[in-house]
């Protein structure tokens, strides 16, 4: 997509190259954008970093996830801006700018799949690929009023994609409406190994909802009631009986160690000027100790087993984010405080590997607010169908 076609500043301003797609197929007639972590033949891949862009060169092969969509008839319209090295939840890139949140233009779009969420929410494409490591699809979906999916870990191949933390990285998806979301997800996901039953048992993460301000709970309460009307009364469960803090630190330290293994050599060799927040996170990553990583792995193993047992064959209702998107004018300190609270919610799927879909079902102060459903491992396609029905 050329720059003058991009009023939302969602796309990287690359020279246009032809990207062939099938003349017909289940996604024929739909326009798609691809986060600039995924390779697309004919384009470089920046990873949101000028240094990675300089090292990239023009790619000769397209990432499998994107190719599958092209082969189904989707039309490629451009590569979207990502937060720098995908290591942020804000959507502000110090080098390439901040894409416009189509659901609340005075607020951050969320990251790191900021451009993809912006492009979809501003109607510049029908759907977009993103990636979700620590919340990089679910957060922007909440903020921009979109359906957004983080699949079961390793459900969708991530070849020819810039990594951040491989044991957490997933390929995600955005769409404005349930019908498109379901249509695209069917191509990406294929058939479930463990589909949900017709009316799955409904659970509600009581301790996660208790974390929210009363106004946020009030905005989500009618939606929860409506879902109970369809699926039956929700059983209250505790998803973090030992508290969220151990999960927060386990997620943060494991992700940081992997991020440093992936990008540390480039950072130490070239000393690139990293943007606000990104520099601090990589410095934290550099000094995480082996003992901290070992303890974090033990926490993840215990939590993964317990959380999967809690969800069982049911569906868990979970707040996607602590609130609506922060204003663009918020300080870096305020954004970091919001991020740290959000990680308590976002880390549950990351540590457990379970699929999560955020649905655009509520609003507050004129801005979108999402609600998520989490399902058993391998239930992704049926979870998407359920979310499309509920959303």
Mean pLDDT taken over the chain: 97
Q: Do 315 and 374 meet the contact criterion of CB atoms below 8 Å apart?
A: yes
Close Cβ partners of 129 (under 8 Å, ≥ 6 residues apart): 32, 33, 34, 35, 38, 65, 66, 69, 116, 171, 172, 173
Q: Residue 260 is encoded by which pair of tokens?
A: 């440093």
Within a 10 A sphere around the Cβ of 350, how many other Cβ atoms? Answer: 28
- The predicted pLDDT at position 4 comes to 54
- The predicted pLDDT at position 220 comes to 98
Active site residue 68: no
- Which of the residues 49, 88, 113, 136 is marked catalytic? 136
Active site residue 113: no
b/e 77-112 (16+ beta carbons within 10 angstroms → b):
bbbbbbbbbbbbbbbbbbbbebbbbbbbeebbbbbb
Q: Do 20 and 66 meet the contact criterion of CB atoms below 8 Å apart?
A: no
Residue ranges of the chain assigned to CATH 3.90.1300.10: 3-189, 202-244+289-390
- The predicted pLDDT at position 197 comes to 84
Q: What is the pLDDT of residues 177-236, one digit of tens each?
A: 999 999 999 999 999 988 998 889 999 999 999 999 999 999 999 999 999 999 999 999
Superfamily of domain covering 202-244+289-390: Amidase signature (AS) domain (3.90.1300.10)
Q: Three-state DSSP class for 161?
A: strand
- The predicted pLDDT at position 228 comes to 98
Q: What angle do CA 266, 272, 276 make, to 5 degrees?
A: 120
Task: Output phi, psi for 128, to 5 deg.
Answer: -150, 150
Q: What is the pLDDT of residues 102-160, one digit of tens each?
A: 999 999 999 999 999 999 999 999 999 999 999 999 999 999 999 999 999 999 999 99
- Which of the residues 46, 88, 112, 114 is marked catalytic? 112
Q: Of 135, 154, 159, whose CA–CA distance to 350 is shortest?
A: 135
pLDDT over 70 (residue 1): no
Task: Name the CATH topology of 3-189.
Answer: Amidase signature (AS) enzymes (3.90.1300)
pLDDT over 70 (residue 67): yes
- The predicted pLDDT at position 5 comes to 80
- The number of angstroms, rounded, from the C-alpha of 72 to the middle of its chain's C-alpha atoms is 23
Close Cβ partners of 86 (under 8 Å, ≥ 6 residues apart): 37, 47, 48, 111, 112, 131, 133, 136, 162, 164
Return d(Cα 39, Cα 35) in angstroms, integer. 9
- The verdict on pTM exceeding 0.95 is yes
Q: What is the pLDDT of residues 341-368, one digit of tens each?
A: 999 999 999 999 999 999 999 999 999 9
Q: Residue 350 is encoded by which pair of tokens?
A: 């990351």
Q: Do 337 and 289 meet the contact criterion of CB atoms below 8 Å apart?
A: no
pLDDT over 60 (residue 380): yes
Return d(Cα 344, Cα 387) in angstroms, integer. 22
- The predicted pLDDT at position 198 comes to 83
Q: Do 359 and 151 meet the contact criterion of CB atoms below 8 Å apart?
A: no
Q: What is the pLDDT of residues 229-285, one digit of tens each?
A: 999 999 999 999 999 999 999 999 999 999 999 999 999 999 999 999 999 999 999
Active site residue 136: yes
Q: Do 36 and 159 meet the contact criterion of CB atoms below 8 Å apart?
A: no
Return d(Cα 173, Cα 154) in angstroms, integer. 14
pLDDT over 60 (residue 88): yes
């Amino acid at each position: 997509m050329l720059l003058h076609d991009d009023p939302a500043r969602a796309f990287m301003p690359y020279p246009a190259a032809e990207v062939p797609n099938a003349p017909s197929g289940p996604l024929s007639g739909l326009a798609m954008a691809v986060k600039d972590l995924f390779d697309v033949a004919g384009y470089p891949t920046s990873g949101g970093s000028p240094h990675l862009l300089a090292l990239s060169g023009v790619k000769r092969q397209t990432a499998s996830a994107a190719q599958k969509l092209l082969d189904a008839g989707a039309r490629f319209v451009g590569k979207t801006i990502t937060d720098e090295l995908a290591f942020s939840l804000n959507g502000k890139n110090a080098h390439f700018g901040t894409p416009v949140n189509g659901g609340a233009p005075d607020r951050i779009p969320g990251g790191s799949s900021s451009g993809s969420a912006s492009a979809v929410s501003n109607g510049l494409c029908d759907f977009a690929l993103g990636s979700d490591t620590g919340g990089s699809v679910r957060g922007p979906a909440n903020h921009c009023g979109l359906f957004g999916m983080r699949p079961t870990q390793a459900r969708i191949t991530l070849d020819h994609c810039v990594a951040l933390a491989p044991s957490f990285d997933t390929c995600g998806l955005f769409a404005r409406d349930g019908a498109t979301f379901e249509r695209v997800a069917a191509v990406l996901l294929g058939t479930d190994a463990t589909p949900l039953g017709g009316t799955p048992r409904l659970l509600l993460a009581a301790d996660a909802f208790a974390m929210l301000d009363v106004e946020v709970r009030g905005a989500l309460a009618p939606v929860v009631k409506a879902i109970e009307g369809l699926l039956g009364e929700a059983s209250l469960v505790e998803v973090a009986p030992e508290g969220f803090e151990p999960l927060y630190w386990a997620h943060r330290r494991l992700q940081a160690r992997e991020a440093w293994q992936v990008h540390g050599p480039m950072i130490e060799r070239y000393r690139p000027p990293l943007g606000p927040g990104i520099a601090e996170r990589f410095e934290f990553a550099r000094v995480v100790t082996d003992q901290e990583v070992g303890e974090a792995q033990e926490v993840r193993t215990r939590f993964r087993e317990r959380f999967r047992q809690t969800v069982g064959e049911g569906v868990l209702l979970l707040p996607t984010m602590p609130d609506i998107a922060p204003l663009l004018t918020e300080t870096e300190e305020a954004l970091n405080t919001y991020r740290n609270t959000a990680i308590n919610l976002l880390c549950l799927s990351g540590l457990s590997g379970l699929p999560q879909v955020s649905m655009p079902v509520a609003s507050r102060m004129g801005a979108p607010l999402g609600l998520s459903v989490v399902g058993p491992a391998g239930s992704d396609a049926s979870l998407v169908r359920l979310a499309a029905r509920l959303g």
